[in-house]
Amino acid sequence: MKPGRFSYHAPQTVDEALELLSTRDNAKVLAGGQSLMAMLNLRYAMPDDVVDLNGVRGLDDITVTEQDIRFGAMARQRAIERDAAVAQAAPIFRDALGYVGHLQTRNRGTIGGSLCHLDPAAELVALCMLYDATITIAGKEREKHLPMSKFPAFYMTPNVEPDEIVVGFTLPRWHGVHGHGFFEFARRHGDFAVIAAGTLMELDSGGLIRRCAIVIGGAGASPLRLTGAEDMLLGQRPDADALTAAAAIAGEIDAMEDNVYSSDYRRHLARVLTGRALAQAAERAI
Amino acid sequence: MTDTPEIQHDVTVTVNGRPYTAACVARTSLADFLRHELHLTGTHLGCEHGVCGACTVLVDDQAVRGCLMLAVQANGAEVRTIEGLAAEDGRLSALQRAFSDHHAVQCGFCTPGILMTLVEVLRDTPDIDERGIREALSGNLCRCTGYQNIVDAALAAANAIR
Amino acid sequence: MPVGKTVIGRSVPRLEDSALLRGEARFLDDLRVPGVLHAAFLRSPVAHARLRSIDADTARIMPGIVAILTLEDLRPLLSADRIPLQFRNTGLGEDITPFVLASDELLFVGETIAIIVAESRAEAEDAIDAMDIEFEELAPVADVRDGLVDTAPRACTERANVYRDFELAYGDTEAAVARAACTFSLSIKQHRGAAHPMEGRGILAVPDTLRDHLQVWSSTQLSHEARFFLSRMLGLEESQIDVAVPEVGGGFGAKYLVYPEEIAVAAAALHLKRPVKWVEDRREHFLSAIQERDQYWTVDVAADADGRLQAIRGDMVHDAGAYIPQGINLAYNAATALPGPYVLPAYRLAVTVGATNKVPTIPVRGAGYPEGTFVMERALDGIADRLGLERAEVRRRNLIPGDRMPYATPMSSRSGAAIVYDSGDFPAMFAQALDAIDYAGFETRRAAAAAEGRHLGIGVGCGIKGTGRGPYESATVRIGRSGQINVFTGAMPMGQGVKTALAQICAEQLGVDATNVRVVCGDTTTIPLGLGGFASRQTVVAGSSVLRAAEDVRDQILMAAASLLEAEPTQLDLREGMVGLPGTNRRVSLRDVAEAAAGSPGYALPTGVKPGLEASVNFMPDGLTYGMGAHAVELEVDPDTGLVTLLRYVVVNDCGRAINPKLVIGQLHGGVVHAIGNALFEFMGYDAQAQPTTTTFAEYLLPTAPGIPSIDVRIAEYPTASNPLGVKGVGEAGCLPVAAAIMSAVEHAVGLRPATLCSVPLAPPDLIHAMGQARGA
């Protein structure tokens, strides 16, 4: 299984990369290569030009400030997993990244690549949705900032023009004491998730839920925020009844179907995993 | 487009401490480059879609799948492969010896990828336990051994190295 | 008497390891030949169609393309369009074997249509993308059962969908069922997926025009058979072709066949007078390498009030695929495997071997025995359920007692020989397995886990396989004039360490270490006959040939040395490569002896010595030798997701006699884990158009390290009298009762009735569904 022929370009700057993309009508951007290279080998993708971003300086920064966590698009999954500041500011990343592929794929795979590939089950995509990330997209004319909710266009296709490049992600931090929970169901360690559930939960001084975010990955083309369940939980004590009720909402979502897993089974998993994630977050929120 | 010859790219890599330069077309994977341009056939291709791990090599000290990287992307990099594990005088490394002692090799086709993965794992987590080793090897398929002897060998090597 | 060395029975380090660990071993694609060309294949995109035309005009002139050949182009080089049936068999039709390249009807997705030969594989694949075929789709048979209905379309227009119907029967099943205290029925579906050695198939054909000879390297399990098939298909004398194996990266049955691709590559090489290499990629393995796939069993089980089996009767439908390249051995094996190590007074099974528009099925590791074993074990669990007996107790009551060995079953193997279980103590081995997993202590462990909200289950199962299949295997032991000890054999290596085992056997006879013995496997230039690696046979049959040949050579050495040392052979001592007369310093080396036996022109050989120092033996076993295995598994189920986590696994397996215990244990590890794959993970999916839906390792799931528990293997040794080593094969033994033991344990963990889970592999949604059904019922 060898790729079809293509011309290879290794731009040194974002501008060079944009120039290439604007003048080639069948080009693919190469980031970590863990998805694209497999597609090239299988001839599922047959670009005439491959624009390799690995030589572009300054795209892989990981910065944590008071306000937010910023990932350059080319930040490696491995680097994010091991970053001490990220672990402190958003410990859910370390939990979730333990599920992402295997150590060899995390060594090369990037957050930008994962987001642009937009696999329905991708953990990093789900976390960006959980955090209401803003995506910075560079184009020839200007840089634009897209909220995560507008990032997925349709199945495995983000709202990025062929002559644009995603350059970074900004995730607003959650301040105050909060807990996180992340669970995913996969057949084997490191497999794509069938369903993943991630949650952040902040309690007030009285132990009532002040803020809550819940995301389900793997059910549809893009990760789903359970805003109904989130609203329902506000002001509640995170006891078994409340969490069960929230999980039940997860069990009602629209879910896709394939050869192995039915919509019902996905919904079932969504309910089970949401319950577990919420319980974990509540425990950690003290 | 198909009438023009494919452009040859010069790729210079250091492999197992030795510099090499060879030309290849852009679509050549790092694994194929090592195997067919440099004639270092110890790295194997089991699936060419990034799942089996047989093609794992170290690039700048990190374990990567050689089938998911273009040779041109490795230009200027330091690569380590199975051929570089034994000492100059031919003595096997502690990891290789452990594999022999524990019968962790059967057909040997997956072995290069597993050894190179373990080089990184044992370097980064010298006090790793059995669970840790099994998880670290989740990206390497073996059809022959059932993994048990590989895990035992890795634990023994970790001990020996410590 | 000469003093031998104890080499047999020791876990000596493998001779194979050094090269493999250094990355210096040469697998097929590592072989470099100047001027080699690379082959790829245009393959059928549809499961069933009339092939109208192939357009290669654009492709032929693309960069790097040397030739594009169809069946029509190859016909001048081929003696037939189709490859002959591998096993002689009566009762099978004429037109059932695969074509070298497609003729006018395409029968499965992946079938070879044309061979493209190019300067590089990538360019060959570019050319394939530029080729066009015109075809008219025909209705496919996707499910073998659908093909058996009267109104079903034909999987191949030229023949009916039933390849063969046969029945296995003994005893009076009707009477037994009629009077039984307990009867019930089971419907069982088993899917065994594909082989997937980590190295795919491959062949390198190198024509030598100076010698009018073709040298072939193949990643194969049958060098000598391959030579025969190639010579027959290419219209050459066997002596004009030689086949050798490089290092082989696993076989598991997928390489125990001569495939269309191999014939096409060899023909292309001859046609072009250039070396041609084909390296199967993983997608090709998914599409066109043999699989095992589906069997559907419907059985009635009858037992007495004490839970003793009285009869099993029923039918089985077996998906053979679009062609039969080998025989019906897989279906036959599964049927004969059902009784297993148990007393089964009456048995009748009607087997239908049916066609589908999918790639052919022949044995993958286990060769049908796992399927028969699964049915028996489910039957025993069903008895436990219906009669309220403990599951292990049902096994105890039905296992063939130790004092009834050798036990003649009423069945015959396909060679016609009676199936006689030659040695073993099945109840003792079963007890050992229960002990090893601490079966008695399970309830305590279960309660402790339950207190933490965890669901544990335990399951057991037994299986037995005939090993050491004949009719023979070849070995030559030769001492070269340098004193080097060589073993040449038709045995085939594929990871199991056969070279080391054979070296040990030879070494012990000749008083040396295994490292002093050089073993060459599967090279037709070194030995004229051979059968190859399949059916767990090589240590038994090749091992016995090596033993006898080494004994003969030992005798020759002593005879020759006696002459040189002026002593009697019985006074001499053979060790560490030297023959000596104890109590003196009179010695000669093996090299001296070999030189003496080679002779010098004009001079007589020493008295009693014949020329050369070698012996060739083709040991012919009398029937198969049977090694039983008793397994136990402890696992945990997450009842909310259906996820099964294996915690502990125990195997007690009879290998007759362990030549190298570590190698035996390694084979059992591998077999168990392969079968864990069949139980919980491996499913080769096809849609209603017989299009494969799982064609990558992301879709077809093999077991991985985190999902496998430690496997505790206990070797049992009940030597057999049927070969001079007393050994039994273990290559496949690990596979047999795994799926059944796991299903039993899963039921146990979540409170499902025993024998509920009758479809493997079991995916988590299937378990959730079964649990839902049980609640609803």
In this structure, the number of other CB atoms found within 10 A of the CB of residue B65 comes to 33
DSSP secondary structure of B58-99: EETTEEEEGGGSBGGGGTT-EEE-GGGSS-TTSPPPHHHHHH
Sheet holding C294-303, edge to edge: C162-170, C347-355, C309-321, C294-303, C182-191, C759-760
Q: Per residue in C26-63, pLDDT tens?
A: 999 999 999 999 999 999 999 999 999 999 999 999 99
d(CA C62, CA C594): 58
Q: Chain C: give the shortest CA distance to residue A8, in Å.
A: 16
Q: Which of A18-32, C77-91, C186-200 has the lowest mean pLDDT?
A: C77-91
What residue type is C142 in one-letter code?
A
- Over residues C356-378, the mean pLDDT reads 98
CATH of B94-161, one of 2.120.10.30, 3.90.550.10, 3.40.630.30, 1.10.150.120: 1.10.150.120
- Over residues C77-88, the mean pLDDT reads 94
Architecture of domain A69-171: 2-Layer Sandwich (3.30)
Q: Which two tokens stand for residue C593?
A: 């002896």
Helix (H) or strand (E) holding C538, with range, is helix C538-565
User: Of A1, A195, A268, which to mutate for an interface test with C (greatest number of C Cβ within 10 Å)?
Assistant: A1
Contact B111 C248 (CB under 8 A): no
Cis, bond preceding C754 (omega within 30 deg of 0): no
**Structure confidence at residue C233 as a pLDDT band (50, 70, 90):** very high
What pLDDT does residue A176 have? 86
Contact B27 C122 (CB under 8 A): yes
- Over residues C206-219, the mean pLDDT reads 96
Length of chain A: 286
Confirm if C223 and C522 have CB atoms less than 8 A apart: yes
DSSP secondary structure of A169-235: EEEEPPPSSEEEEEEEE-SSTTSPPSEEEEEEEEE-TTS-EEEEEEEEESSSSS-EE-HHHHHHHTT
> Structural domain boundaries of chain A?
7-55, 69-171, 178-284
Confirm if A100 and A111 have CB atoms less than 8 A apart: no
- Is 60 exceeded by the pLDDT of residue C504? yes
- Over residues B57-86, the mean pLDDT reads 98
User: Of A54, A102, A119, A189, which to mutate for an interface test with B (greatest number of B Cβ within 10 Å)?
Assistant: A102
Does the model's pTM come out above 0.95?
Answer: yes
- Mean pLDDT of all residues belonging to chain C: 96
Contact C29 B100 (CB under 8 A): no
All residues at 6 or more sequence positions from A49 whose CB lies less than 8 Å from its CB, including other chains: A6, A7, A8, A9, A20, A24, A26, A27, A28
What pLDDT does residue C98 have? 98
- Is 70 exceeded by the pLDDT of residue C230? yes
Query: Looking at chain C, which subunits does it touch, using at least 3 CB pairs closer than 8 Å as the criterion?
Result: A, B
What are the structural domains, with CATH classification, of chain C? Answer: 17-24+470-619 (3.30.365.10), 31-138+201-248+255-288 (3.90.1170.50), 294-469+622-776 (3.30.365.10)
Confirm if B51 and B141 have CB atoms less than 8 A apart: yes
CA distances from A244 to A67, A249, A275, A279, C452 (A): 33, 9, 6, 10, 20
**Structure confidence at residue C488 as a pLDDT band (50, 70, 90):** very high
Sheet holding C105-106, edge to edge: C105-106, C49-55, C132-137
d(CA C665, CA B103): 9
What pLDDT does residue C695 have? 98
- Over residues A244-252, the mean pLDDT reads 98
Q: Please provide the distance, in angstroms rounded to a whole number, between the alpha carbons at the two ends of chain A.
A: 53
Contact A104 B117 (CB under 8 A): yes
What pLDDT does residue C108 have? 98
User: Of B103, B111, B134, which to mutate for an interface test with C (greatest number of C Cβ within 10 Å)?
Assistant: B103
Burial zone of C306 (CB within 10 Å; 0-12 exposed, 13-18 middle, 19+ buried): middle
Among candidate residues C629, C668, C660, C672, the one with its CA nearest the CA of residue C727: C660
- Is 90 exceeded by the pLDDT of residue A141? no
| Inter-chain Cβ pairs, chain A and chain C, closer than 8 A | 52
Q: Per residue in C178-212, pLDDT tens?
A: 999 999 999 999 999 999 999 999 999 999 989 99
Is the CB of A2 inside 8 Å of chain C's CB atoms? yes
What residue type is C752 in one-letter code?
L
Helices (H), chain B: 30-32, 94-101, 111-124, 130-136, 148-161
**Structure confidence at residue C1 as a pLDDT band (50, 70, 90):** very low
d(CA C278, CA C287): 16
- The residue with tokens 């344990």 is C745
d(CA C351, CA C164): 8
CATH T-level assignment (fold) for domain A178-284: Enolase-like; domain 1 (3.30.390)
d(CA C695, CA C390): 42
- List the single residue in A4, A189, A269 with the smallest CB-CB distance to C706: A189
What pLDDT does residue B1 have? 47
- The residue with tokens 């073998």 is C144
CA distances from A150 to A124, A154, C136, C600 (A): 16, 10, 45, 91
- Is 90 exceeded by the pLDDT of residue C107? yes
Q: Chain C: give the shortest CA distance to residue A272, in Å.
A: 7
d(CA C620, CA C625): 13
Q: Chain A: give the shortest CA distance to residue C706, in Å.
A: 7
Confirm if C634 and C647 have CB atoms less than 8 A apart: yes
List, as ranges, residues 8-67 from B with C-beta within 8 Å of A: 9, 25-27, 29, 32, 48-50, 53, 56, 62-65, 67
d(CA C545, CA C539): 9
- Over residues C133-154, the mean pLDDT reads 98
Confirm if C372 and C334 have CB atoms less than 8 A apart: yes
Q: Chain C: give the shortest CA distance to residue A80, in Å.
A: 23
Half-sphere exposure of C415 (CA within 13 A, CB side): 13
- Over residues C496-510, the mean pLDDT reads 97
Confirm if C46 and C109 have CB atoms less than 8 A apart: yes
All residues at 6 or more sequence positions from B4 whose CB lies less than 8 Å from its CB, including other chains: none
Dihedral sign (CA C605, C610, C611, C612): negative
Q: Which two tokens stand for residue C90?
A: 């009566």
Residues of chain C with pLDDT > 70, as a percent, come to 99
> Structural domain boundaries of chain B?
8-84, 94-161
Instruction: Domain B8-84: state its class.
Output: alpha beta
Is the CB of B69 inside 8 Å of chain A's CB atoms? yes
User: Of C198, C498, C645, which to mutate for an interface test with B (greatest number of B Cβ within 10 Å)?
Assistant: C198
Residue C161 backbone phi and psi in degrees, to 5: -80, -10
Q: Chain B: give the shortest CA distance to residue A149, in Å.
A: 30
Contact A4 B69 (CB under 8 A): no
Contact B136 A40 (CB under 8 A): no
- Over residues C639-647, the mean pLDDT reads 98
Burial zone of C381 (CB within 10 Å; 0-12 exposed, 13-18 middle, 19+ buried): buried
Contact C281 B48 (CB under 8 A): yes
Residue B152 backbone phi and psi in degrees, to 5: -60, -40
Query: Do the domains spanning B8-84 and B94-161 agree at the CATH topology level?
Result: no
Find residue A216's DSSP bridge partners: A197, A224
Between the CA atoms of C395, C397, C398 and C404, what dihedral angle is there, to the nearest 10 degrees?
120
What residue type is A257 in one-letter code?
E
Helix (H) or strand (E) holding C316, with range, is strand C309-321
Q: Which two tokens stand for residue C464?
A: 């037995």
| Inter-chain Cβ pairs, chain B and chain C, closer than 8 A | 179
User: Of A268, A271, A273, A274, which to mutate for an interface test with C (greatest number of C Cβ within 10 Å)?
Assistant: A268
Contact A7 B25 (CB under 8 A): no
Is the CB of A190 inside 8 Å of chain C's CB atoms? yes
Q: Which of C232-246, C274-288, C596-610 has the lowest mean pLDDT?
A: C596-610
Contact A259 C701 (CB under 8 A): no
Confirm if C185 and C178 have CB atoms less than 8 A apart: no
Q: Which two tokens stand for residue C563?
A: 């002459």
What pLDDT does residue C776 have? 85
Q: Per residue in C394-450, pLDDT tens?
A: 999 999 999 999 999 988 877 777 899 999 999 999 999 999 999 999 999 999 999
What pLDDT does residue C212 have? 94
Residues of chain A with pLDDT > 70, as a percent, come to 100
What pLDDT does residue C570 have? 94
What pLDDT does residue C5 have? 67
Q: Per residue in C718-776, pLDDT tens?
A: 999 999 999 999 999 999 999 999 999 999 999 999 999 999 999 999 999 999 999 98
What pLDDT does residue C4 have? 55
Q: Which two tokens stand for residue C286?
A: 């998914």
Architecture of domain A7-55: 2-Layer Sandwich (3.30)
Is the CB of A34 inside 8 Å of chain B's CB atoms? yes
Helix (H) or strand (E) holding C298, with range, is strand C294-303
d(CA C502, CA C505): 5
Helix (H) or strand (E) holding A112, with range, is helix A111-117
- The residue with tokens 């679509």 is B27
Half-sphere exposure of C401 (CA within 13 A, CB side): 3
Beta pairing, strands C241-244 & C213-218? parallel
Assign C638 to helix, strand or coil. strand
Is the CB of A107 inside 8 Å of chain B's CB atoms? yes
